[in-house]
Amino acid sequence: MICVCLVSRDWVSIAGRHENRYLARQLGIIGYAVYDLQKIALSAFEKARIDKLDPDPYRSFLEKRRSDRGDFHLEPARKKNVVFIQMESVDGICLYGVHEGESIMPNLRRIADENVSFANTYDATDAGRTSDAEFMVLTSVPPIKGDPVFVNFDLNKIPSLPRVLKDNGYYSFSMHGFNGEFWNRSDAHRSLGFDRDFFLSDFESPEKIGWGVSDEVVLEVALETILRIEQPVFGHIILLTHHHPYNHIGDISGDRKSSIEEDFLVSLRYVDTQIGRFYDSLIASGEMENTIVAVFSDHDSGIADRLMHLLDIENPPFLDTVPLVVTGLGKGNQRIERLSSLQDLPVMILHSLGIQPPSTFVGNSIDSIGESITPASLQMRIENGEPISENTRIDVGILSKLAIWRPDYLEDVR
């Protein structure tokens, strides 16, 4: 009884923390065991409820999306390498933002101008933040409201981009310069089908900035890995240097500013420089013509409203957005203003490769883009330059749980 009381007393303070070892330190072994048993019981109850649901409304919802995005009319295409560069905490306004007459991300802006960019990519992350973004770009499924998927769900069954690409002859790896236990990332990535993951301990004498290995080193090692592998490769590179409170670069360079938003701009310029170097090195290697590169941010910065006061940019329909730029899609250079989502990225990748996405994928193709599905069961879009929010026809949380636990329920029956 004493242990249960302790767990109840501490529940509010731990509910928002999502790494098991931190919970264990706070509650102790017995307290954490009770907490863990409670989660297991709740999960078992929810699984039983999901098993009894009628999947037809969810299957119909997905079948319409598949038809609208053109899944059933794909042409064969040649295999290309696929590279995801996931930035940390960069707002959508940063891609085209100007400060004191200069672009704040000149390299990414250059890449965007030469390829396909998405001016309004809605940040649909929830409690899992960075890990939610990874979940979306790897599964094309919305995260679950208030429940970090990487930590609290077994992801061995859900169809994923690494699994689909492996079935088509690809080797896949993920790379992140921090502890693989954080957000349960190592287990989650392996469950989603990556052949190899790289974390802090896998880098030899790395340069560290802020939380972990510097973006410069991570991108250098990633490029070496991509060029070394002979078969088609999918690499998911997760950057970390530009992490709140955005002062890590300023501390090293001696260029600390008087406000967090000015520190943010100093840090952002570093990240942009490293992405530009990676892009130019890939071109110099001769592999760019054989590679699709997607550059995006995991989630917003949390200070976008303050950044707006510094930047020369028009007010966007949605401020809660992230940059998204994709090369190698064969769609020329264009700037797409319609609302998009990170859920769309894996669909666009597979369509470009001539591969049919799994039935569980929720996202849009480049031709059907125009809205974002959120964990709160809202459908967001832009109409005549104004933000629109409407309820979805289905419960998005249940849809995501079906994709995770019972993807067979959502298979196309045509």
| Residue type at 407 in one-letter notation | P
What distance separates the 2 farthest-apart alpha carbons in the chain?
66
- The terminus-to-terminus CA distance of the chain in angstroms comes to 54
Cα 15 from chain centre: 23
Closest by Cα among 409, 382, 325 to 113: 325
| Three-class secondary structure of residue 131 per DSSP | helix
pLDDT at 25: 52
Indicate the burial class of 105 (C-beta count within 10 angstroms; 0-12, 13-18, 19 or more).
Answer: buried
**Separation CA 171–CA 406 (nearest Å):** 26
Closest by Cα among 285, 279, 209 to 248: 209
pLDDT at 17: 37
pLDDT at 14: 34
**Separation CA 77–CA 75 (nearest Å):** 6
Give per-residue pLDDT as tens, 85-95: 999 999 999 99
Please give the structure tokens belonging to residue 381: 């879009």
* Average pLDDT value over all residues in the chain: 91
Give per-residue pLDDT as tens, 200-239: 999 998 899 999 999 999 999 999 999 999 999 999 999 9
Omega before residue 245 within 30° of 0, cis: yes
pLDDT at 412: 74
Q: Predicted confidence band at 159 (pLDDT cuts at 50, 70, 90)?
A: very high
More confident residue, 147 or 192: 192
pLDDT at 46: 84
Give per-residue pLDDT as tens, 345-388: 999 999 999 999 999 999 999 999 999 999 999 999 999 999 99
Please give the structure tokens belonging to residue 244: 């709140």
- In the beta sheet, which residues pair with residue 212? 209
Strands 378-383 and 371-373: antiparallel
